[in-house]
Amino acid sequence: MSQLIAQGASILQVARVAGHADPSVTLRVYVHLMADGFAEAARRYAPLRALAVDER
């Protein structure tokens, strides 16, 4: 499963391959492998957030 995550598979895809009925189980088990991905997502989201604030 860690290889799938490293290759960019979504948590839903990993959950299905792992046989987890609830993707939250998969997320709890593998979240430590996704830490860098969360930082990248935050960087990508930041400009969008600034736009939303500017348009108010």
pLDDT tens per residue, range 23-52? 888 888 888 777 666 666 666 666 655 555
pLDDT confidence of residue 55? 45
Confidence (pTM): 0.57
What pLDDT sits at residue 21? 92
Whole-number Å distance between alpha carbons of 43 and 52: 15
Q: How far is CA 32 from CA 3, 28, 55, 56, in A?
A: 13, 8, 35, 36
Domain parsing of the chain, residue ranges: 2-54
Distance CA(53)–CA(25), nearest Å, equals: 34
Residue 21 CB partners (closer than 8 Å, separation 6+): none
pLDDT tens across 5-30, in order?
Answer: 888 888 889 999 999 999 888 888 88
